[in-house]
Structure 1
Protein backbone atom coordinates (compact mmCIF):
# COMPACT_ATOMS: atom_id res chain seq x y z
CA UNK A 1 0.00 0.00 0.00
CA UNK A 2 1.33 3.42 -1.01
CA UNK A 3 0.07 6.31 1.08
CA UNK A 4 0.86 9.95 0.24
CA UNK A 5 1.25 12.39 3.12
CA UNK A 6 2.09 16.07 3.50
CA UNK A 7 5.80 16.25 4.46
CA UNK A 8 5.44 19.61 6.23
CA UNK A 9 2.06 19.21 7.93
CA UNK A 10 1.34 15.46 7.99
CA UNK A 11 -2.39 14.79 8.23
CA UNK A 12 -3.28 13.34 11.68
CA UNK A 13 -5.73 10.90 10.08
CA UNK A 14 -2.98 9.44 7.92
CA UNK A 15 -0.52 9.34 10.82
CA UNK A 16 -3.07 7.31 12.81
CA UNK A 17 -3.46 4.96 9.84
CA UNK A 18 0.30 4.44 9.65
CA UNK A 19 0.60 3.86 13.39
CA UNK A 20 -2.30 1.41 13.37
CA UNK A 21 -0.35 -0.59 10.79
CA UNK A 22 2.72 -0.53 13.06
CA UNK A 23 0.71 -1.55 16.14
CA UNK A 24 -0.60 -4.55 14.22
CA UNK A 25 2.97 -5.67 13.63
CA UNK A 26 3.44 -4.02 10.25
CA UNK A 27 6.69 -3.04 8.55
CA UNK A 28 6.69 0.31 6.75
CA UNK A 29 8.91 2.37 4.47
CA UNK A 30 8.87 6.06 5.37
CA UNK A 31 10.75 9.33 4.71
CA UNK A 32 13.32 10.76 7.12
CA UNK A 33 15.40 13.91 6.81
CA UNK A 34 18.00 11.90 4.88
CA UNK A 35 17.01 8.75 2.95
CA UNK A 36 13.82 6.72 3.07
CA UNK A 37 13.89 4.16 5.86
CA UNK A 38 12.40 0.77 6.62
CA UNK A 39 10.98 0.42 10.10
CA UNK A 40 8.69 -1.14 12.66
CA UNK A 41 7.98 -0.78 16.37
CA UNK A 42 11.25 -1.65 18.17
CA UNK A 43 9.36 -4.16 20.33
CA UNK A 44 8.02 -6.02 17.28
CA UNK A 45 10.46 -8.94 17.14
CA UNK A 46 8.90 -10.46 14.03
CA UNK A 47 9.04 -7.08 12.31
CA UNK A 48 12.71 -6.60 13.13
CA UNK A 49 13.47 -10.10 11.84
CA UNK A 50 11.54 -9.36 8.66
CA UNK A 51 13.54 -6.17 8.06
CA UNK A 52 16.79 -8.14 8.39
CA UNK A 53 15.43 -10.51 5.73
CA UNK A 54 14.36 -7.68 3.41
CA UNK A 55 17.73 -5.97 3.76
CA UNK A 56 19.61 -9.28 3.41
CA UNK A 57 21.71 -7.98 6.26
CA UNK A 58 23.91 -9.75 8.78
CA UNK A 59 21.94 -10.11 12.02
CA UNK A 60 25.08 -9.14 13.95
CA UNK A 61 24.73 -5.59 12.58
CA UNK A 62 21.74 -4.17 14.45
CA UNK A 63 19.58 -1.31 13.22
CA UNK A 64 19.29 2.15 14.73
CA UNK A 65 16.02 3.60 15.96
CA UNK A 66 14.20 6.91 16.12
CA UNK A 67 13.12 8.62 19.34
CA UNK A 68 10.82 11.62 19.79
CA UNK A 69 13.12 13.72 21.98
CA UNK A 70 16.11 13.69 24.34
CA UNK A 71 13.94 12.66 27.28
CA UNK A 72 12.91 9.49 25.46
CA UNK A 73 16.51 8.78 24.43
CA UNK A 74 17.46 8.60 28.11
CA UNK A 75 15.10 5.65 28.54
CA UNK A 76 16.97 3.63 25.93
CA UNK A 77 20.55 4.89 26.23
CA UNK A 78 22.92 6.05 28.92
CA UNK A 79 23.22 9.78 28.32
CA UNK A 80 26.07 11.56 30.10
CA UNK A 81 26.14 15.35 30.47
CA UNK A 82 28.72 15.40 27.67
CA UNK A 83 26.48 13.42 25.31
CA UNK A 84 23.40 15.42 26.28
CA UNK A 85 25.04 18.72 25.36
CA UNK A 86 26.20 17.38 21.98
CA UNK A 87 22.81 15.91 21.09
CA UNK A 88 20.86 18.93 22.30
CA UNK A 89 22.91 21.09 19.94
CA UNK A 90 22.53 18.85 16.87
CA UNK A 91 19.14 17.15 17.16
CA UNK A 92 16.78 17.03 15.41
CA UNK A 93 19.14 16.54 12.50
CA UNK A 94 20.86 14.14 10.08
CA UNK A 95 22.91 12.33 12.73
CA UNK A 96 22.91 8.90 14.34
CA UNK A 97 24.52 8.95 17.77
CA UNK A 98 26.00 5.77 19.24
CA UNK A 99 25.58 5.36 22.99
CA UNK A 100 25.58 2.61 25.62
CA UNK A 101 22.21 0.88 25.69
CA UNK A 102 19.94 0.48 28.70
CA UNK A 103 18.28 -2.83 29.55
CA UNK A 104 15.05 -1.64 27.91
CA UNK A 105 16.51 -2.06 24.42
CA UNK A 106 15.70 -5.41 22.76
CA UNK A 107 18.77 -7.56 22.12
CA UNK A 108 18.13 -7.49 18.37
CA UNK A 109 18.77 -3.74 18.35
CA UNK A 110 21.96 -3.58 20.39
CA UNK A 111 25.47 -4.77 19.61
CA UNK A 112 27.41 -7.37 21.55
CA UNK A 113 28.99 -4.42 23.34
CA UNK A 114 25.47 -3.27 24.28
CA UNK A 115 25.58 -0.06 22.29
CA UNK A 116 22.79 1.49 20.21
CA UNK A 117 22.42 3.98 17.40
CA UNK A 118 19.75 6.62 17.98
CA UNK A 119 18.23 9.26 15.70
CA UNK A 120 15.85 12.21 15.96
CA UNK A 121 15.35 13.18 12.31
CA UNK A 122 14.33 16.71 11.38
CA UNK A 123 11.21 15.30 9.76
CA UNK A 124 7.63 16.17 10.80
CA UNK A 125 6.44 12.81 9.46
CA UNK A 126 8.94 10.80 11.54
CA UNK A 127 8.27 12.82 14.66
CA UNK A 128 4.50 12.49 14.28
CA UNK A 129 4.69 8.72 13.75
CA UNK A 130 6.92 8.07 16.76
CA UNK A 131 4.90 10.36 19.02
CA UNK A 132 1.63 8.67 18.06
CA UNK A 133 3.18 5.18 18.31
CA UNK A 134 4.53 5.76 21.81
CA UNK A 135 7.65 3.68 21.10
CA UNK A 136 10.82 4.29 19.10
CA UNK A 137 10.77 3.27 15.45
CA UNK A 138 13.40 1.04 13.85
CA UNK A 139 15.30 2.87 11.13
CA UNK A 140 17.54 1.56 8.37
CA UNK A 141 17.87 2.72 4.79
CA UNK A 142 15.22 1.43 2.40
CA UNK A 143 17.43 -0.74 0.23
CA UNK A 144 19.15 -4.08 -0.01
CA UNK A 145 22.40 -3.92 1.98
CA UNK A 146 25.18 -2.50 -0.15
CA UNK A 147 22.85 -0.88 -2.68
CA UNK A 148 21.90 2.77 -2.99
CA UNK A 149 18.57 3.97 -1.59
CA UNK A 150 16.33 5.50 -4.29
CA UNK A 151 15.20 9.07 -3.56
CA UNK A 152 11.82 8.60 -5.28
CA UNK A 153 9.15 6.82 -3.18
CA UNK A 154 7.50 5.45 -6.33
CA UNK A 155 10.76 3.76 -7.30
CA UNK A 156 11.11 2.41 -3.76
CA UNK A 157 7.54 1.11 -3.89
CA UNK A 158 8.26 -0.62 -7.19
CA UNK A 159 11.31 -2.41 -5.79
CA UNK A 160 10.36 -3.07 -2.17
CA UNK A 161 6.66 -2.28 -1.79
CA UNK A 162 5.60 -5.92 -2.12
CA UNK A 163 7.84 -6.84 0.83
CA UNK A 164 6.37 -4.39 3.36
CA UNK A 165 2.91 -3.48 4.62
CA UNK A 166 2.98 0.21 3.71
CA UNK A 167 5.08 2.74 1.82
CA UNK A 168 4.67 6.32 3.07
CA UNK A 169 5.19 8.84 0.27
CA UNK A 170 6.55 12.10 1.68
CA UNK A 171 8.07 13.31 -1.58
CA UNK A 172 11.56 13.03 -3.04
CA UNK A 173 14.22 12.51 -0.38
CA UNK A 174 17.95 12.98 -0.11
CA UNK A 175 19.97 9.94 -1.13
CA UNK A 176 22.70 10.28 1.48
CA UNK A 177 22.46 8.53 4.83
CA UNK A 178 22.93 10.13 8.23
CA UNK A 179 26.34 10.80 9.72
CA UNK A 180 27.10 8.26 12.46
CA UNK A 181 28.93 9.59 15.51
CA UNK A 182 30.02 7.65 18.58
CA UNK A 183 29.75 9.45 21.91
CA UNK A 184 31.01 6.49 23.94
CA UNK A 185 33.32 7.25 26.85
CA UNK A 186 32.59 10.97 26.48
CA UNK A 187 34.60 11.27 23.27
CA UNK A 188 33.55 12.04 19.71
CA UNK A 189 34.37 9.65 16.86
CA UNK A 190 32.88 9.86 13.38
CA UNK A 191 32.06 6.29 12.34
CA UNK A 192 30.44 7.21 9.01
CA UNK A 193 30.40 10.54 7.21
CA UNK A 194 26.98 11.17 5.74
CA UNK A 195 24.74 14.16 5.20
CA UNK A 196 25.35 15.65 8.65
CA UNK A 197 28.12 18.26 8.77
CA UNK A 198 31.06 17.41 11.05
CA UNK A 199 32.86 20.74 10.87
CA UNK A 200 31.87 21.42 14.47
CA UNK A 201 34.04 18.53 15.72
CA UNK A 202 37.43 19.72 16.91
Structure 2
Protein backbone atom coordinates (compact mmCIF):
# COMPACT_ATOMS: atom_id res chain seq x y z
CA UNK A 1 0.00 0.00 0.00
CA UNK A 2 3.03 2.29 0.44
CA UNK A 3 3.38 2.50 -3.35
CA UNK A 4 -0.19 3.74 -3.76
CA UNK A 5 0.13 6.24 -0.90
CA UNK A 6 3.37 7.70 -2.26
CA UNK A 7 1.92 7.95 -5.80
CA UNK A 8 -1.17 9.76 -4.44
CA UNK A 9 0.94 12.19 -2.42
CA UNK A 10 3.07 12.97 -5.46
CA UNK A 11 0.02 13.59 -7.67
CA UNK A 12 -1.66 15.81 -5.06
CA UNK A 13 1.54 17.85 -4.74
CA UNK A 14 1.69 18.54 -8.49
CA UNK A 15 4.41 15.99 -9.18
CA UNK A 16 4.94 13.45 -11.94
CA UNK A 17 4.72 9.70 -11.47
CA UNK A 18 5.97 6.86 -13.63
CA UNK A 19 3.49 4.02 -13.37
CA UNK A 20 2.30 0.82 -15.04
CA UNK A 21 -1.01 1.04 -16.89
CA UNK A 22 -3.09 -1.53 -18.74
CA UNK A 23 -1.11 -0.74 -21.89
CA UNK A 24 2.42 0.60 -21.34
CA UNK A 25 4.43 2.33 -18.62
CA UNK A 26 3.05 5.85 -18.35
CA UNK A 27 4.04 9.26 -17.10
CA UNK A 28 1.20 10.71 -15.10
CA UNK A 29 0.05 13.78 -13.24
CA UNK A 30 -3.12 15.43 -11.98
CA UNK A 31 -5.11 16.17 -15.15
CA UNK A 32 -6.54 19.33 -13.59
CA UNK A 33 -3.14 20.87 -12.77
CA UNK A 34 -1.77 22.93 -15.70
CA UNK A 35 1.71 23.26 -14.16
CA UNK A 36 1.99 19.47 -13.79
CA UNK A 37 0.77 18.97 -17.38
CA UNK A 38 3.44 21.44 -18.56
CA UNK A 39 6.10 19.40 -16.73
CA UNK A 40 5.08 16.34 -18.77
CA UNK A 41 5.35 18.25 -22.06
CA UNK A 42 8.85 19.42 -21.07
CA UNK A 43 9.98 15.97 -19.89
CA UNK A 44 8.77 14.32 -23.09
CA UNK A 45 10.14 17.21 -25.20
CA UNK A 46 6.72 17.27 -26.79
CA UNK A 47 4.92 20.18 -28.38
CA UNK A 48 1.92 21.18 -26.32
CA UNK A 49 -0.16 21.15 -29.50
CA UNK A 50 0.00 17.34 -29.40
CA UNK A 51 -2.66 16.25 -26.91
CA UNK A 52 -2.20 13.79 -24.04
CA UNK A 53 -4.45 10.97 -22.83
CA UNK A 54 -6.23 10.88 -19.45
CA UNK A 55 -7.37 7.93 -17.40
CA UNK A 56 -10.55 7.82 -15.34
CA UNK A 57 -11.81 5.02 -13.09
CA UNK A 58 -15.30 4.54 -14.54
CA UNK A 59 -18.24 6.09 -16.40
CA UNK A 60 -19.24 8.14 -13.35
CA UNK A 61 -15.82 9.81 -13.31
CA UNK A 62 -15.89 10.21 -17.10
CA UNK A 63 -19.08 12.31 -16.81
CA UNK A 64 -17.16 14.77 -14.64
CA UNK A 65 -14.77 15.56 -17.53
CA UNK A 66 -16.94 15.30 -20.66
CA UNK A 67 -20.15 17.31 -21.21
CA UNK A 68 -21.77 14.66 -23.39
CA UNK A 69 -20.84 10.98 -23.71
CA UNK A 70 -22.00 9.58 -27.06
CA UNK A 71 -24.00 6.33 -26.77
CA UNK A 72 -21.46 4.73 -29.12
CA UNK A 73 -18.74 5.29 -26.49
CA UNK A 74 -20.58 3.21 -23.92
CA UNK A 75 -21.22 0.50 -26.51
CA UNK A 76 -17.54 0.45 -27.53
CA UNK A 77 -16.34 0.19 -23.94
CA UNK A 78 -18.76 -2.67 -23.30
CA UNK A 79 -17.82 -4.78 -26.33
CA UNK A 80 -14.12 -4.03 -26.85
CA UNK A 81 -11.72 -6.52 -25.23
CA UNK A 82 -8.56 -4.52 -25.92
CA UNK A 83 -7.67 -1.18 -24.32
CA UNK A 84 -9.45 1.65 -26.11
CA UNK A 85 -9.00 5.37 -25.73
CA UNK A 86 -11.89 7.52 -26.92
CA UNK A 87 -11.59 11.15 -27.97
CA UNK A 88 -14.57 13.17 -26.76
CA UNK A 89 -15.89 16.60 -27.73
CA UNK A 90 -16.37 19.34 -25.14
CA UNK A 91 -14.12 18.41 -22.24
CA UNK A 92 -14.62 20.16 -18.91
CA UNK A 93 -12.95 20.48 -15.51
CA UNK A 94 -9.46 19.71 -16.89
CA UNK A 95 -6.26 21.73 -17.26
CA UNK A 96 -6.60 23.99 -20.31
CA UNK A 97 -3.21 22.88 -21.69
CA UNK A 98 -4.43 19.29 -21.68
CA UNK A 99 -7.34 20.01 -24.02
CA UNK A 100 -6.61 19.67 -27.75
CA UNK A 101 -6.90 22.70 -30.04
CA UNK A 102 -10.17 21.30 -31.49
CA UNK A 103 -11.69 21.24 -27.96
CA UNK A 104 -11.44 17.48 -27.49
CA UNK A 105 -9.89 15.17 -24.91
CA UNK A 106 -8.70 11.55 -25.13
CA UNK A 107 -9.82 9.43 -22.16
CA UNK A 108 -9.51 5.73 -21.30
CA UNK A 109 -10.98 3.65 -18.51
CA UNK A 110 -8.11 1.22 -17.80
CA UNK A 111 -8.56 -2.45 -17.04
CA UNK A 112 -5.80 -2.59 -14.45
CA UNK A 113 -6.21 -3.00 -10.69
CA UNK A 114 -3.42 -0.61 -9.69
CA UNK A 115 -4.71 2.13 -12.02
CA UNK A 116 -8.26 1.63 -10.81
CA UNK A 117 -7.21 1.91 -7.15
CA UNK A 118 -5.04 4.95 -7.89
CA UNK A 119 -7.82 6.72 -9.80
CA UNK A 120 -10.44 5.87 -7.17
CA UNK A 121 -8.35 7.08 -4.25
CA UNK A 122 -7.16 10.17 -6.17
CA UNK A 123 -10.81 10.76 -7.11
CA UNK A 124 -9.91 12.41 -10.37
CA UNK A 125 -8.44 12.08 -13.84
CA UNK A 126 -4.76 11.34 -14.25
CA UNK A 127 -2.69 12.02 -17.36
CA UNK A 128 -1.29 8.92 -18.99
CA UNK A 129 1.32 9.29 -21.71
CA UNK A 130 3.93 6.75 -22.72
CA UNK A 131 7.20 6.87 -20.79
CA UNK A 132 9.41 8.03 -23.65
CA UNK A 133 10.77 11.20 -25.19
CA UNK A 134 8.51 12.31 -28.03
CA UNK A 135 9.44 10.63 -31.30
CA UNK A 136 11.37 7.81 -29.63
CA UNK A 137 10.03 4.24 -29.43
CA UNK A 138 7.52 3.43 -26.70
CA UNK A 139 9.27 1.24 -24.10
CA UNK A 140 7.82 -2.28 -23.98
CA UNK A 141 9.05 -2.89 -20.44
CA UNK A 142 10.39 -0.96 -17.45
CA UNK A 143 14.01 -1.75 -18.31
CA UNK A 144 13.60 0.02 -21.69
CA UNK A 145 12.64 3.36 -20.09
CA UNK A 146 15.36 5.95 -20.73
CA UNK A 147 17.17 7.28 -17.67
CA UNK A 148 16.17 10.89 -18.55
CA UNK A 149 12.54 9.88 -18.04
CA UNK A 150 13.36 8.00 -14.81
CA UNK A 151 15.23 11.04 -13.45
CA UNK A 152 12.59 13.48 -14.66
CA UNK A 153 9.67 12.11 -12.63
CA UNK A 154 9.10 12.66 -8.93
CA UNK A 155 8.07 9.10 -8.08
CA UNK A 156 8.47 5.71 -9.76
CA UNK A 157 5.76 3.21 -8.84
CA UNK A 158 7.51 0.01 -7.82
CA UNK A 159 5.33 -2.67 -9.38
CA UNK A 160 6.24 -5.51 -11.72
CA UNK A 161 5.27 -4.90 -15.33
CA UNK A 162 4.24 -8.48 -16.11
CA UNK A 163 0.57 -7.53 -16.61
CA UNK A 164 1.26 -4.59 -18.90
CA UNK A 165 0.19 -5.16 -22.50
CA UNK A 166 3.34 -3.44 -23.88
CA UNK A 167 1.21 -1.92 -26.63
CA UNK A 168 -0.53 1.47 -26.68
CA UNK A 169 -4.32 1.53 -26.77
CA UNK A 170 -6.43 1.96 -29.86
CA UNK A 171 -7.69 5.53 -30.23
CA UNK A 172 -11.10 6.33 -31.68
CA UNK A 173 -12.61 9.80 -32.04
CA UNK A 174 -16.36 9.93 -31.42
CA UNK A 175 -17.83 13.33 -32.20
CA UNK A 176 -21.10 14.47 -30.70
CA UNK A 177 -22.48 14.71 -34.25
CA UNK A 178 -22.08 10.92 -34.66
CA UNK A 179 -18.89 10.99 -36.73
CA UNK A 180 -16.42 8.16 -35.94
CA UNK A 181 -12.73 8.27 -36.84
CA UNK A 182 -10.04 5.65 -36.07
CA UNK A 183 -6.89 7.52 -35.04
CA UNK A 184 -4.71 4.55 -33.98
CA UNK A 185 -5.47 0.84 -34.32
What's the TM-score, normalizing by structure 2? Answer: 0.89
* Alpha-carbon distance in structure 2 between the residues aligned to 1:88 and 1:74: 16
CA shift for structure 1 position 47: 1.1
Offset from partner CA, 1:22-73 (integer Å, 9 cap, x none): 1111101111111111010112221110100011111111211000101111
Matched, 1:86 2:79: no
Matched, 1:76 2:53: no
Q: In structure 1, what is the equivalent of residue 183 of structure 2?
A: 191
* Alpha-carbon distance in structure 2 between the residues aligned to 1:157 and 1:150: 8
Give every structure 1 segment of 4 or more consecutive aligned residues whose post-TM-superposition deviation is greater than 6 Å.
Answer: none
* Alpha-carbon distance in structure 2 between the residues aligned to 1:168 and 1:160: 13
In terms of mean alpha carbon deviation, does 171-180 or 33-42 score higher? 171-180
Gaps in structure 2 of 5+ consecutive residues: none
Matched, 1:27 2:16: yes
Q: Alignment partner of 1:169: what SS?
A: coil
Matched, 1:170 2:162: no
CA shift for structure 1 position 108: 1.0
Offset from partner CA, 1:91-132 (integer Å, 9 cap, x none): 8x5111011133323211111221110011111111111111
CA shift for structure 1 position 159: 4.1
Contact 2:23 2:168 in 1 (8 A): yes
Matched, 1:151 2:151: no
Return the match for 2:54 from 65, 71, 74.
Answer: 65
In terms of mean alpha carbon deviation, does 111-120 or 182-191 score higher? 182-191
What's the TM-score, normalizing by structure 1? Answer: 0.82
Offset from partner CA, 1:147-187 (integer Å, 9 cap, x none): 11223324426342111101113323433211101111323
CA RMSD of aligned residues (A): 1.8
Return the match for 1:180 from 165, 171, 174.
Answer: 171
Contact 2:131 2:138 in 1 (8 A): yes
* Alpha-carbon distance in structure 1 between the residues aligned to 2:30 and 2:72: 29
CA shift for structure 1 position 145: 0.8
Gaps in structure 1 of 5+ consecutive residues: 1-11, 194-202
In terms of mean alpha carbon deviation, does 80-89 or 14-23 score higher? 80-89
